[in-house]
Amino acid sequence: MADAPLPTLFNEVPPALLGYYDARAPWSLLGDGLDELLSQLPSDAIEIDLHPSVHLVGKHIAIGAGSRIQPGAVIAGPIFIGRDVQVRPGAYLRGGNWIGDGCIVGANTEIKRAVLFPGARAPHLNYVGDSVLGREANLGAGTILSNFRHDGAEVAIPLAKGAIRTGRRKLGAILGDGVLTGCNCVLHPGVVVGRQTQIYPGVQLRSGVYPADSIIKLRQQLEILEKT
């Protein structure tokens, strides 16, 4: 785990979000500014045709040209979905999301109050709660970004000396550009991962700060016994 407070996360913050971003507290993207940004969306700014089985709930729903919303998806406003986004069958996008151009939200994936930079992907059976995914970040199948402590306490991010208080009771993961997770990873509330880091399948990351340009491995010892 890194001793420095925060690693390098993003090469570039999308212009629409830049005014709400604080590099010292990247979870600021999930704060009141996000509500302000989404509340300014027109009540119906959908630039594509939708299949009759796509369910729209609430107001302030924007979907850009070239996006494909497949049958059975549920999209709740307020929400911004950029251009050329794929939302696959059974996806549930709860209110309060900003999904950048070229993102993928996979089948039976749930996205709750999250920011996905352009090209980020949560393509297979994922849960993304109160989290930020940098450009081209990719979640392996079954990856969970958990956002709530069992005791309901504020999510703090431990460091080698002390901790960073976030002021949030719900906070998942902040993943830098190009972060990759393997299948069935679980990231506990309050995980920050620097850009271009790879996380091996099955890893559980406890709250904390993890460096950029790293590989995080799970070492597993198997015991194989002869049947008796």
**In this predicted model, what pLDDT tens digit does every residue of 137-160 receive, in sequence order?**
999 999 999 999 999 899 999 988
Q: Could you say which of 51, 124, 150, 188 is catalytic?
A: 124
Strands 191-193 and 208-210: parallel
Q: Is 124 an active-site residue?
A: yes
Q: What pLDDT does residue 44 have?
A: 77
Q: What pLDDT does residue 42 have?
A: 86
- Specify whether the CB–CB gap between 145 and 131 falls below 8 A: yes
Q: Specify the 3-state DSSP secondary structure of 46.
A: strand
- In degrees and rounded to multiples of 5, residue 17 shows phi and psi of -105, -10
Q: What pLDDT does residue 187 have?
A: 98
More confident site: 2 or 110 = 110
CATH number of 15-215: 2.160.10.10
Enter the tokens of residue 76.
């709740």
In this prediction, residue 3 has a pLDDT band, given cuts at 50, 70 and 90, of very low
Q: What pLDDT does residue 162 have?
A: 86
pLDDT in tens, 13-69: 999 999 999 999 999 999 999 999 999 998 779 999 999 999 999 999 999 999 999
pLDDT in tens, 163-184: 999 999 999 999 999 999 999 9
Whether pTM > 0.75 for this model: the answer is yes
pLDDT in tens, 74-106: 999 999 999 999 999 999 999 899 999 999 999
The DSSP line for 59-78 is S-EEE-TT-EE-TT-EEESS
Mean pLDDT for 199-211 is: 96
Q: What pLDDT does residue 2 have?
A: 43
User: Considering just the CA atoms, what is the radius of gyration of the chain in Å?
Assistant: 18
Please name the amino acid found at residue 10: F
